[in-house]
Amino acid sequence: MVNIVLDCMGGENSPKDLVKGAVLALNENENINVILVGKDEKIVYELKKYKFDKNRVDIINANDVIEGNDEPVKAMRMKKNSSLIVALNEIVNKNYDAIVSAGNSGAFLAGCLFLVGRIKGVNRAALAPIINSENNKFILLDAGANVDCKVIDFVQFAKIGSVYYKILFGEQNPIVKLLNIGVESNKGNFIVKKVYDELLNDKSINFKGNIEARYIMNDDVNVVVCDGFVGNIVLKTIEGTSKYIISKLKDDINKSFIYKIGKKIFFNSVKNKYDYQKYGGAIFLGVKKICIKSHGNSNEIAIKNSIDMAYKLNSRDFIGVLEKNLFIK
């Protein structure tokens, strides 16, 4: 059995959608146990709405909550009985397999680093969402964990991202590209130029040069590398744009009879392909456990998908494979 801890109080739709997502995952996969952490009376109230195997659910009470506007490190220190900190301690102390949270991103990432810890040799852990593109899907890292990065950090992101993509999608030699303001090797600031040279000379990485942001949705690339400042802006731009386009399509469909005819064929196809909640959340790569950060406004489907991802990675011994295949200078 795979034991997955869920921070039920994190996110905008807690605990309702988080509990429902956990139940959906339980009913679809008999090989998981879910440990629900948060205000127990609220969790029990939500669970009463559904049918599920009660033998595969544990509830851990945590009376406090780290809010979205709390300062991460201060909140960790002051709110030790928060659902997030209690959940992180559960995964460490009881050696559970994975954790999922839709709560405060900074606190979650800080907690993963300080409580769970980094894999030996990893300099900076990175947030790595999966994004569907026109031709394939790609991993973007770092997407927000590290605002300022050194050259070695970019190189490690490329290595970790390549191993992750290989395990998740079976691609034996993932294509890596460096996000830049132009495709030419002499473009970018001093750090990015140095990164280009390092990636080009590292034969363990299938580096194929720079990529501009306007091409990442239709280029043949598996791993896009950047620092967390740039990556977070790119990620939120993609999310916001896709959300806007889907909303506009829906409005136009509802205004036209002809559009309504093609709704299931066109609108649903676009939504299913580009909906950022399809994979549920982004893994925090480089820490000792499978730690998945779901979007703050995740619904029950996104939470279920995050739990599914955690199960899938654990069943493939992701952390063990990463440790064995990560050749860091």
**Sign of the torsion formed by the C-alpha atoms of 279, 284, 290 and 291:** negative
Tell the residue number behind the tokens 């598996």, with chain if given: 222
b/e per residue, 176-212, with b = 16+ CB within 10 A? bbbbbeeeeeeebeeebbbbbebbeebeebbbbbbbe
Determine the straight-line distance between the first and last CA of the chain, rounded to whole angstroms.
36
Q: Give CATH for domain 1-122+286-329.
A: 3.40.718.10
**Res 120: pLDDT:** 87
Burial class from Cβ neighbours inside 10 Å (0-12, 13-18, 19+) for residue 126 reads buried
Report which listed range, 39-43, 249-253, 261-265, 272-276, is most confident.
Answer: 39-43
pLDDT tops 80 at residue 259? no
Quick check: 117 pLDDT over 50? yes
Which range, of 70-84, 193-207, 254-268, 280-294, averages the lowest pLDDT? 254-268
| E strand or H helix that includes residue 43 | helix 40-47
The pLDDT mean for the chain works out to 88
Longest CA–CA separation in the chain, Å: 61
Q: What pLDDT, on the 0 to 100 scale, is given for residue 26?
A: 96
CB 6 within 8 A of CB 37: yes
pLDDT of residue 325: 76
Report the pLDDT value the prediction gives residue 77, as an integer from 0 to 100: 87
Compute CA 324 distance to the chain's CA centroid, rounded to the nearest angstrom.
Answer: 22
In whole angstroms, what is the distance from residue 209 CA to residue 132 CA? 21
CATH topology of domain 128-277: Isopropylmalate Dehydrogenase (3.40.718)
Average the pLDDT over 270-292 and give the result: 75
Least confident of 57-66, 68-77, 79-88, 186-195: 68-77
- Domain positions in the chain are 1-122+286-329, 128-277
Distance of alpha carbon 297 from alpha carbon 277, whole angstroms: 10
**What confidence score (pLDDT) does residue 329 get?**
43
Domains 1-122+286-329 and 128-277 share a fold: yes
Q: What is the pLDDT of residues 16-41, one digit of tens each?
A: 999 999 999 999 999 999 999 999 99
